[in-house]
Chain A
Amino acid sequence: EPEVTQTPSHQVTQMGQEVILRCVPISNHLYFYWYRQILGQKVEFLVSFYNNEISEKSEIFDDQFSVERPDGSNFTLKIRSTKLEDSAMYFCASSADRLPNYGYTFGSGTRLTVV
């Protein structure tokens, strides 16, 4: 069964450093998403991306975040200057349709630890 692949599975970074989280969505999917889950809290929506532009973003997704689909296969989330509160599990997801009746396909997540 097709999978969404995320790398790395765990990343440790120093506060103030830039970090890039990588995702390879399912190949025929057109819509891409990032969610995050701070330990013990809800999974929260960050951003959705379609046709090489952001289609929707949450309040969390401020100027320190950016997304990109640099080469037609990868979908990346960049955090420019990490803060301690950015420590979380980050999930990438993709879907073939804008309003997927059957939900997204999620990746296994990248655990980001900011020290």
Chain B
Amino acid sequence: AQTVTQSQPEMSVQEAETVTLSCTYDTSESDYYLFWYKQPPSRQMILVIRQEAYKQQNATENRFSVNFQKAAKSFSLKISDSQLGDAAMYFCAYRSRTGNQFYFGTGTSLTVIP
């Protein structure tokens, strides 16, 4: 079974600074999707960014970007110019190309310090 590991239960960052959240995963599949979800205090999980495993290029969405290292099975999220609204729990998730079940990590709680 696929496993997703987030080794940082908590992280903090100064407003306007950059922070990187780590995620590793284990799979025997070659084609899959990786996601970062954000869960703010309002609790609704919001998709932040996704990466398709067959694409070499790292995904970018405005201030959010990923560092996808397929051989190392690593998928980190970089948040640039951190804002107070970025404070949330961040979940890394894996989904195989052919399955509709997500596998989540345990999450990283991000605090943004004014």
Seen from chain A, the residues whose Cβ lies within 8 Å of a Cβ on chain B are 3-4, 9, 31, 33, 35, 40-45, 48, 55-56, 58, 89, 91, 95, 98-104, 106-109
Contacts and interface: CB of A to CB of B under 8 A. Distances in A.
Given A42-B105, A42-B106, A91-B45, A103 B100 contact: no
Contacts of B100: 31, 33, 48, 55-56, 95, 98-100
A103 to B, nearest CB: 5
Contacts of A100: 100
Nearest to A109: B43
Given A48-B101, A103-B50, 15 more contacts: A4-B44, A43-B104, A43-B107, A44-B104, A45-B103, A48-B100, A56-B100, A89-B43, A98-B100, A99-B98, A104-B102, A106-B45, A108-B43, A108-B44, A109-B44
Classify chain B: how many residues form its interface, as a range: 20 to 34
Nearest to A98: B100
Contacts of A48: 100-101
B86 to A, nearest CB: 18
Interface of B: 4, 33, 35, 37, 42-47, 50, 52, 91, 93, 95, 97-107
Contacts of B43: 9, 89, 108-109
A101 B106 contact: no
A24 to B, nearest CB: 13
A6 to B, nearest CB: 9
A109 B42 CA distance: 10
A84 to B, nearest CB: 21
